[in-house]
Amino acid sequence: MVRLRTAGPIRYWKPIQTGIELDDDTATVASLAGCAKSELLGDGIRLPRPLSPHLSARLAGTTIDLESIASTFSDAAADSRLVVEGAGGALVPLNDRELMTDLMARLGLPLVIAARSTLGTINHTLLTIEALRRRSLTIAGVVMVGPENADNRAAIEQYGCVPVLGEMPMFAPLTPDRLSAWAEHALDRERRLTELLG
């Protein structure tokens, strides 16, 4: 949000949130990015247990319906561009038939993969890239989180044929000022995200 505001009006949306009593990503983004109410879309599925969306929904006695999510997105996207955060990873189940990648395909947005920077990230990130490409989804790039690791970054860029848009350290504590300073100076220096937003 911090980095993309310069491109014009934009809103954050988390369409599916599990474990809502323990964790509220919308509130966290609002706090860290200093979002006005107009920059947040609060509509969505909010489930109590911090589990995979399909299981959390089942235990809550409901089913996640991608059609209703896509409809909310279409209405909101008519007024402003949206940054949409997924839940649980690319291949997490949302219901008995559909995965997060099915929602990604319906929304048709370019994707940013958040990946850790440490051991195991090459395999995990390349598998995610492969799953997205098999579904003809557009990958904007990868943001690595954790200690800088030049070898892991180079491997992801070489073998995944994607740019790493930034490497975010583990801030302790993570504050709005620290996040803003990092985003303005170290995230998407080539302005790829801004270009994709149109």
pLDDT in tens, 19-68: 998 999 999 999 999 999 999 999 999 999 999 999 999 999 999 999 99
d(CA 17, CA 41): 13
Is it the case that residue 198 has pLDDT exceeding 70?
no
Instruction: Single out the catalytic residue among 14, 54, 58, 153.
Output: 14
Superfamily of structural domain 110-198 = P-loop containing nucleotide triphosphate hydrolases (3.40.50.300)
The pLDDT tens digits for 103-117 are: 999 999 999 999 999
- Each domain of the chain, given as residue ranges in start order, spans 1-87, 110-198
Give which of 31, 23, 42 is closest to 1, Cα–Cα: 31
Confidence (pLDDT) at 4: 81
Q: Is 14 a catalytic residue?
A: yes
Please tell me the class of the 1-87 domain: alpha beta
Confidence (pLDDT) at 145: 98
The pLDDT tens digits for 93-103 are: 999 999 999 99
Give the list of residues 6+ apart from residue 165 with CB closer than 8 angstroms, or none. Answer: 112, 140, 141, 142, 143, 187, 188, 190, 192, 193
Confidence (pLDDT) at 120: 97
Q: What's the pTM value of the predicted model, to 2 decimals?
A: 0.94
Which one has a higher pLDDT value, 151 or 21?
151
Which one has a higher pLDDT value, 133 or 42?
133
Confidence (pLDDT) at 44: 94
Structure tokens at 108: 């048709």
